[in-house]
């Protein structure tokens, strides 16, 4: 079972990165919490649990059909590395923007969050380039490891955004301070390390290492 801890750690790091990094869902969580209260922000935060499922299923099925194609897996791993590098770059260069306006209507936060996630390309890129390959790799070892990855991922992804909803709902002083930026920068470093791993894996699949 000790072999499964790297999958749990991967899920935790990627989940925290997604949970705290700036983006459409994060912005909406903060905006909705500031305008309508913590409860509405939490509804936005849990939206990825509902919307990621169909994306993940399609991606995992597609990756499974490519399981014997080392070249395809190598390319996918390199795409994943590129996507992680992009997310890390965004963490280092994009200051968190907390001054946003939401629509006057629409306290249906769960629907708003689901729609925002569906039109956001990041979940699609994540599952096709990062999530599905990890799930496929874990499933070849032990299906429990798949569960460990998913638990780590979604507990930290949703938990991070719920934390932002609570903080934003109670006041925005902390979010304007340096602590939030330090968290983003630290997660950016972690994403760079995972990008290096994906690059190595991709080159190995392509027999270039």
pLDDT digit string (tens) for 142-182? 889 999 999 999 999 999 999 999 988 886 556 556 766 77
Q: How many CB atoms lie within 10 A of CB 177?
A: 10
Question: Quick one: average pLDDT of 90-106?
Answer: 55
CA neighbours closer than 13 Å in the CB half-sphere of residue 153: 22
Instruction: Give 127's DSSP letter.
Output: I
How far is the C-alpha of 64 from the C-alpha of 132, rounded, in Å? 9
Among candidates 154, 123, 150, 125, which has minimal Cα distance to 16?
154
pLDDT digit string (tens) for 42-81? 988 998 888 888 888 888 777 767 655 677 778 877 887 8
Residue 94 predicted with pLDDT over 80: no
Choice among 1-5, 49-53, 85-89, 163-167 with the minimum mean pLDDT: 1-5
**Polymer length of the chain:** 209
Average pLDDT, the chain: 80
- Percentage of residues in the chain with pLDDT exceeding 70? 84
Instruction: Give 129's DSSP letter.
Output: I
Residue 103 predicted with pLDDT over 90: no
pLDDT interval class at 111 (50, 70, 90):
confident
> Residue 12 has what pLDDT?
94
Judge contact between 168 and 34, C-beta under 8 A. yes
Judge contact between 132 and 83, C-beta under 8 A. no
Residue 31 predicted with pLDDT over 80: no
């Amino acid at each position: 079972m000790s072999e499964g801890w790297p999958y749990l750690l991967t899920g935790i790091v990627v989940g925290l990165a997604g949970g705290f990094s700036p983006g459409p869902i994060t912005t909406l969580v903060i905006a909705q919490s500031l305008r309508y209260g913590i409860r509405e922000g939490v509804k936005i935060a849990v939206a990825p649990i509902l919307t990621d499922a169909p994306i993940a299923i399609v991606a995992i099925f597609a990756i499974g059909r490519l399981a014997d194609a080392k070249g395809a897996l190598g390319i996918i791993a390199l795409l994943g590395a590129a996507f992680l590098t992009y997310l890390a770059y965004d963490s280092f260069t994009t200051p968190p923007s907390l001054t946003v306006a939401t629509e006057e209507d629409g306290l249906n936060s769960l629907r708003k969050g689901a729609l925002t996630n569906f039109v956001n390309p990041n979940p699609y890129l994540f599952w096709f380039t990062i999530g599905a390959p990890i799930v496929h790799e874990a499933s070849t070892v032990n299906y429990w490891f798949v569960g460990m990855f998913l638990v780590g991922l979604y507990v930290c992804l949703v938990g991070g955004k719920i934390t932002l909803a609570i903080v934003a709902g109670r006041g925005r002083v902390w979010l304007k301070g340096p602590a939030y930026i330090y968290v983003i920068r630290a997660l950016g470093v972690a994403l760079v390390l995972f990008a290096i791993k994906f690059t190595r894996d991709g080159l190995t699949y392509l027999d270039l290492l």
